[in-house]
Amino acid sequence: MVFYRMKAEKIMILWQKSQLLMLLKKEVIFFNSLAHNREQVVTVHVNAQNVQVVDGNGAEVQSQTDAFWVIKNRMAPEEFLVSFVVDVPALGSATYLLKRTTKGSKSYGKVTIYNTEAENVPEQSPFTIKTEQEKDFTVENSFLKAEFSGNTGFLKSVTTKDDGKQHKTEVSFVSYGISHGKEKSGAYLFLPDGPAKTINYMSPTIRITRGPIMSEVVVYHQYTEHHVRILSSPGTDGSAIDIYNLVDISSTGGNIETAMRINTDIQNTDREFFVDLNGFQMIKHKKLDKIPLQANFYPMPSMAFIEDDSYRFSVLSGQSLGMASLEVGQIEIMMDRRLNQDDNRGLGQPVHDNKVTPNRFALLFEKRLKPRPKEKITGFPSLQAHLTSLQLIQPLFVIPKNSDTESIPLLPNFKPMQKTLPCEIHLLNFRSLRYSEDDTSHGFKPRKDVAMLLHHLGFDCNFPNRGLKCDSSDGQISFLRLFKELTFKNTKETSLSLNYDQRDVKNGETMSLKPMEIYAYRTELQWMASTY
């Protein structure tokens, strides 16, 4: 989910949680860096209560207006959030117009607050705000329903609507202390004093927003501002649960390491789990009792999953963190650490430079179409998990039109690709090449040829795919008419370093890329007549 901030009449950008844009009538460009079309929910922060959203073709887009909260229970008097679905072409952009209207919004979010009262609510506020006390609640979209605890505000279960299955999904936050031995935890060492202890924080402030585009639960926990979003999107983000944590342990006494723990009903009775290696392949691990607790933690660059014969539970991460699966059906992800001593490994100081740390995740339950193999050596994400992860790691670029260029018309959309890449082919890099540093005759001019790196994602086809905006081709790809205005000339398959040519690629040739392989091509681009 893209989050952007706007305010009206002139543009003003403030880098805080999001960007603030001032608007009376403002065009906003959304750029997609992936080679697949994307349809997803974005949220824009504006200073207008009544905002109309129009796409590049002049059609009004359904939107949802929500209050903007300065603190946990206080509304900003003249700031609001507008959420809507954008459709952005592969490697292209789409322009949307946001403008003030005199009519009220068709959809205002409905707010429920637990354990406190809302403050600074304007008398003419269009928002319905009510208070509740310790009563379980649910939020849902067309794909899933999530149940939350009224005591803690944390997720309790997720029901997938296509099969009606309710999955236990208990979220909690835990903390580790430090070892009492001679060596203690520091910047490099993780030496806990035993199993983690649950951070109990009963009756926190809980704020629930429900609407046709986006529903959100925000819990103000002891060290964490915990956001859970359910998006009504036709894209892959509509099938996953979006989690956003703001962790701040800078005010603690130190010697604490915090983690988010998710307990599910997945019966991985052998305590096997899969975590990616550098975002490239999934590695199988097993929790071992004979080794220290800290030895069961592994790096998680982008995703991890556990599974049984019927279902798989995946955690997709927007940043690299440490994780473990210490019990059956459990995934635990480290959030932040604050330590009062040096660990004698070279840093020479404690870990006291803590800042407010944002972490993004997507939770995904998937039903297997076939039972898993008994002796499974390795694992692969589903195609839906791959694309959800790519969208999490490579969010849309959001570019407001500069006020100095208001007279310059923008294209309703920029669609450079004649056909998008198949779902399982990921464009790793597409860049111009430069001359050798020893060749000074060309200055900084790029060469005529470009490099293109393609990765054939290895995926498990025993899971359904929802929300995909592309087709699978079993690794078959052709460069013929790939782009609207560009053709490829003198294409060569090369080594990944681009130093060693391997073979010539014929014009119009259909190539078959092997799964889990990265291919590099060097080609010259030739312009054709404009087709826009």
Assess if residue 406 is contained within a domain: no
Q: Which residue has the higher pLDDT, 473 or 23?
A: 473
Residue 367: which domain range? 2-393
CATH number, domain containing residue 17: 2.70.98.30
Beta strands 129-132; 110-114: pairing state:
parallel
H or E, element range at 90: none
Q: Hey, how many other C-beta atoms are within 10 angstroms of the C-beta on 291?
A: 9
What one-letter code names the amino acid at 65?
Answer: T
Contact call for residues 283 and 378 (beta carbons, < 8 A): yes
Write down the pLDDT at residue 1.
53
pTM as predicted = 0.91
At 180 the three-state DSSP class reads coil
Taking the C-alpha atoms of residue 378 and residue 284, their distance in angstroms, rounded to an integer, is 6
Q: Are residues 94 and 161 in the same domain?
A: yes
Q: Are residues 457 and 386 in the same domain?
A: no
The CATH number that applies at residue 428 is 2.60.40.1360
Q: HEC states along 480-529?
A: CCCECCEEEEEEEEECCCCCCEEEECCCCCEEECCCCCEEEEEEEEEECC
Q: What are the C-alpha distances in Å from 192 to residues 171, 184, 294, 375, 480? A: 21, 8, 7, 33, 57
Residues 369-391: pLDDT tens digits?
A: 988 887 777 899 999 999 999 99
pLDDT at 2 over 70: no
Residue whose entry in the numeric block shows the structure tokens 């005199």? 102
d(CA 133, CA 325): 34
Q: What is the pLDDT of residue 281?
A: 92
| Residue 24 confidence class, pLDDT cut points 50, 70, 90 | low
Asked if pLDDT for residue 13 goes beyond 50, the answer is: no
Domain assignment of residue 470, yes or no: yes
What local confidence, expressed as pLDDT, does residue 16 receive? 35
- Number of domains observed in the structure of the chain: 2
Q: How far apart are CA 303 and CA 284, in angstroms?
A: 12
The reply to whether 378 and 473 lie within a common domain is no
**Per-residue pLDDT at 507:** 84
Query: pLDDT band at residue 118, thresholds of 50, 70 and 90?
Result: confident
Give yes or no: residues 432 and 380 share one domain. no
User: Residue 410 domain-assigned?
Assistant: no
CA atoms of 26 and 49, how far apart (whole Å): 15
Pick the closest to residue 380 from 231, 241, 277 (CA basis): 277
In a domain, residue 433? The reply is yes
Query: Does residue 174 sit in the same domain as residue 31?
Result: yes
Range ranked top by mean pLDDT from 200-209, 257-266, 270-279: 257-266
pLDDT, position 245: 97
Side chain identity at 253, as an amino acid letter? G
For CA atoms 42, 416, 34, 241, the dihedral sign is positive
In angstroms, rounded to a whole number, what is the distance separating the alpha carbons of residues 391 and 384? Answer: 11
| Whether 390 contacts 276, CB under 8 Å | no
Whole-number percent of the chain with pLDDT over 90: 70
For residue 91, is it within any domain?
Answer: yes
| 355 shares its domain with 466 | no
> Does residue 42 lie in a domain region?
yes
Q: Are residues 34 and 152 in the same domain?
A: yes
Asked which of 374, 393, 412 is the last residue of a domain, the reply is 393
Predicted local distance difference test score (pLDDT) of residue 137:
95
More confident residue, 74 or 5: 74
Per-residue confidence (pLDDT) for residue 19, from 0 to 100: 54
Asked if the structure places residue 401 within a domain, the reply is no
Cβ-based neighbour number of residue 63 at 10 Å: 22
Say yes or no: 117 and 158 in one domain: yes
Token pair recorded at residue 4:
């952007």
> Residue 122: what residue type?
P
Clarify whether residues 166 and 76 are in a common domain: yes
193 and 113 within one domain: yes
Burial category of 59 from C-beta neighbours within 10 Å (exposed 0-12, middle 13-18, buried 19 and up): exposed
Clarify whether residues 375 and 488 are in a common domain.
no
Per-residue three-class SS string for 2-64: EEEEEECCCCCCCCCCCCCEECCEEEEEEECCCCCCEEEEEEEEECCCCEEEECCCCCEECEE
For the chain, the average pLDDT equals 89
Q: CA torsion angle for 376, 467, 90, 418 (degrees, to 10)? A: 100
Say if residue 6's pLDDT is above 50: no
- The residue from 378, 393, 408 where one domain ends is 393
The pLDDT of residue 38: 95
Query: What is the 3-class SS of 325-367, one letter each residue?
Result: CCCCCEEEEEEEEEECCCCCCCCCCCECCCCCEEEEEEEEEEE
CB 257 within 8 A of CB 185: yes
Say if residue 311 is in the same domain as residue 436. no
Whether pLDDT at 210 is above 50: yes
Question: Is 400 contained in some domain?
Answer: no
